[in-house]
């Protein structure tokens, strides 16, 4: 299985359960690992034959900036849904970091995996 990754994607959004959090934008940091068989793209040297990570990042940024979820769990699940349905990613591992959410901790968040980790073909 080949993996295309994006790390440290910082996006501002409304996220959180407290009243004060609903009134501000906070930065979430995303790390994405997405399964993609790159052999066809390597042979053709054409962007159409691979997962276009610029298109992925633009889509995710637009979605997250426009969202206002209470839980990081919901946001993470919706991001994975987009990757699987819109970009036909068979497997994704997403780390969603809500820096500064816990006093004394540099990082806090979740890691989820969705889809089939093995590629057939």
- Residues 96, 100, 101: CA angle, nearest 5 degrees: 70
Listed in sequence order, the DSSP H helices in 13-66 are: 19-22, 39-44, 53-66
State how far Cα 104 lies from the chain centre. 25
List active site positions: 98
**How many other CB atoms sit within 10 Å of the CB of residue 70?**
14
């Amino acid at each position: 299985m080949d993996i295309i990754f994006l790390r440290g994607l910082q996006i501002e959004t409304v996220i959180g359960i407290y009243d004060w959090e609903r009134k501000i934008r906070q930065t979430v940091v995303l790390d994405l690992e997405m399964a993609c068989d790159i052999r066809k793209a390597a042979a053709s040297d054409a962007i159409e034959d691979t997962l276009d990570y610029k298109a992925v990042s633009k889509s995710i940024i637009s979605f997250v900036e426009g969202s206002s979820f209470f839980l990081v769990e919901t946001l993470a699940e919706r991001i994975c849904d987009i990757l699987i349905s819109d970009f036909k990613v068979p497997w994704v591992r997403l780390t969603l970091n809500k820096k500064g959410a816990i006093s004394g901790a540099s990082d806090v968040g979740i890691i989820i995996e969705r889809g089939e980790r093995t590629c057939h073909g």
